[in-house]
Amino acid sequence: CQTFALQQDRNMIDVTKKFHECWTYFMVRYDENFDMKDFCQKLDLDYEHQKKYGTDEYMEIGSNHFYQQDVNKMVRQTLKNLFGKEDVLLELKEKYNLQYSLERVPTIDTRSQEPMPKLSLDSDIVEFLCKIGAKDDLDYFIF
């Protein structure tokens, strides 16, 4: 078996090494009465960017693929544009009959030498989700 490696600043990196991964995003589900432009304007989000990542049924906010062992760091990056806007999120949720969920999708490679990811949420993130009536959805894959 041959090992392939990349040279980067005199350090050898084994590209055959197995890594954990994770994807986080905030999902907003809506129906035909939803006004995405109004939603984005009230939350100070880039409408064109959000339209690009939306469908007729949902949109994704703060999509993050940059893996960190503590998933809370990833979630904070995902939610950074929503923290402190709980009242507006609740108003929009009621106005448009929205459903909110924090989506966490880790892939855990059991052959990896990396530490296992920390998947439990910090209490302030749980409190934020509770305030806006959002679900926490954890879909994981183990190999």
pLDDT digits (tens, 9 = 90+) for 28-56: 999 989 999 999 999 999 999 898 878 88
Q: What is the pLDDT of residue 16?
A: 52
DSSP string for residues in the chain = -PPPEEEETTEEEETT----EEEEEEEEE--TT--HHHHHHHHT--HHHHHHTB-SSEEEEEEE----SBHHHHHHHHHTTTTT-HHHHHHHHHHHT-EEEEEEEEEE-TT--SPPPB-SPPHHHHHHHHHTT-EEEE--EE-
Taking CA atoms, 141 is separated from 5, 6, 13, 15, 120, in Å, by: 27, 28, 25, 21, 16
Asked if the model's pLDDT at residue 137 lies above 80, the reply is yes
pTM: 0.83
How would residue 13 be classed by pLDDT, with cut points 50, 70 and 90? very low
One-letter amino acid for residue 69 of the chain: Q
pLDDT 10s digits, 82-134:
999 999 999 999 999 999 999 999 988 888 888 888 999 999 999 999 999 99
* Structure-block tokens of residue 65: 């693929």
Give the pLDDT confidence of 59-69 residue by residue, as tens digits: 999 999 998 98
